[in-house]
Structure 1
């Protein structure tokens, strides 16, 4: 049988074939989630992300491992996610990490950036560690292989845990591919604001400064002609007719309703909730109901700019209404 992937490291062949995919439930588009030994503790929910340029440990995992905060060293550069969200790490620390099972295992001191933001994972293993392990990964087989002094070692991904984490990631819209900000000379040139459109200063777009005068003129004219397609506020996003599209929840009738315990918020959070609810009411996105004992709780997450972002805790509803990636036609 021809190998699907082959890579040579230190005279050792690392390859994956169909036999390695045995036991993986197909079709498989699951992330590669593994277990590693960190500082002597078996640590689960570790995402292997070839797109991340750094290794990340989330603050809850740092606390659960009972690591000394004094081990954190300052790290001033921010991290950027794929959606350009900016996060400043709590610091960087070096931990002893072991991958594999004796004797086919590796133990290295690895540097992790500790990040305080919501995550379904405990740790992100990025390219720095994968390159140091000289590892080959296969998302099809859900395995990581790496050369050791005693032949090639491997770690299998946990498909069940990977799917649980992925569902949580989708629900919370988390970002897990992080990039360290480059030096100033490597940064993209700053953007400039164009003139106010139609005299309304609130309706302003930004375009790049590297455009030619001709292209800049054409782009500004195009934006002005298509001003109506942009949503400047909630009121600019009217609801869609049910004749066009309609969404319904396929709730399991066998599930019993769960009543969430009411949460109490601080004054600042309560004001943020009030402001956001008023916006949605004025736009007609929501309406008042008279069964508040069955409503899901509000969840507030602070954004980088200091403002609050409001979510709804649909944890119990998601359990009763699991995502169906392949609904019937």
Structure 2
């Protein structure tokens, strides 16, 4: 295929035809991380970090010796702090050949409950020069051979939402009185 330099990235209504509308779904995708196809990956433009949850880390069979220590805590919604077990660098591939990219991603590995296996934040999205659209539930990014696409999965989004609602440590009731 011929190389394409600086492809123009845009979205059209055609990109949204495969979705059930109306929706307010999060952007949850599948990626190739290392030698594994990873499902339930949240794309979060608001996150400054790329996160890999410890259960996914374990399922991938990655040795704990690959974890590089870090002492920088993550500050979560509500101000709580989570201290990562360490960082691990994994090769991540997205898109369909030949419009795909492979880049190393540095994940903070955290041991806490989540319906997701990982979170991709701004660091990776910027490295990919990716453009996200929550309306289209899609990421588009430039490649040597045109614009690559990564589609969100509405079924996975709803499964994750239900799983999060069922987690005991996320169910907190606030009493509001006059």
Q: TM-score, normalised by structure 1?
A: 0.50
- The counterpart of 1:51, out of the listed 46, 50, 56, is 46
> How far off its partner does 1:238 sit?
9.7
Partner in structure 2 of residue 21 of structure 1: 16
> How far off its partner does 1:125 sit?
0.2
> How far off its partner does 1:102 sit?
1.0
Partner in structure 2 of residue 158 of structure 1: 153
Tell me the secondary structure at the aligned position of residue 9 of structure 2: strand
Tell me the secondary structure at the aligned position of residue 158 of structure 2: helix
Partner in structure 1 of residue 36 of structure 2: 41
Partner in structure 2 of residue 109 of structure 1: 104
> How far off its partner does 1:171 sit?
4.0
In terms of fraction of residues, the more helix-rich structure is 1
Runs of 4+ in 1 over 2 A off after TM superposition: 167-174
CA displacement, residues 252-297 of structure 1 (integer Å, 9 cap, x when unaligned) = xxxxxxxxxxxxxxxxxxxxxxxxxxxxxxxxxxxxxxxxxxxxxx
| Rounded Cα–Cα distance in structure 1 between residues aligned with 2:176 and 2:45 | 40
**Residues 1-329 of structure 1 correspond to what in structure 2 (within 5 A)?**
11-172=6-167
Larger radius of gyration: 1
- 2:94–2:150 contact (8 Å) kept in structure 1: yes
| Rounded Cα–Cα distance in structure 1 between residues aligned with 2:14 and 2:37 | 27
| Count of aligned pairs | 170
| Rounded Cα–Cα distance in structure 2 between residues aligned with 1:14 and 1:82 | 32
CA displacement, residues 117-151 of structure 1 (integer Å, 9 cap, x when unaligned) = 00000000000000000000111111110000000
Tell me the secondary structure at the aligned position of residue 14 of structure 1: coil
- Gaps (5+ residues) in structure 2? none
RMSD of aligned Cα (Å): 1.9
Tell me the secondary structure at the aligned position of residue 70 of structure 2: coil
- 1:100–1:154 contact (8 Å) kept in structure 2: yes
- 1:49–1:127 contact (8 Å) kept in structure 2: yes
- Gaps (5+ residues) in structure 1? 1-9, 175-236, 240-329
CA displacement, residues 45-90 of structure 1 (integer Å, 9 cap, x when unaligned) = 0000000000000000000000011000010011111211111000
| Rounded Cα–Cα distance in structure 2 between residues aligned with 1:170 and 1:117 | 15
| Rounded Cα–Cα distance in structure 2 between residues aligned with 1:150 and 1:40 | 24
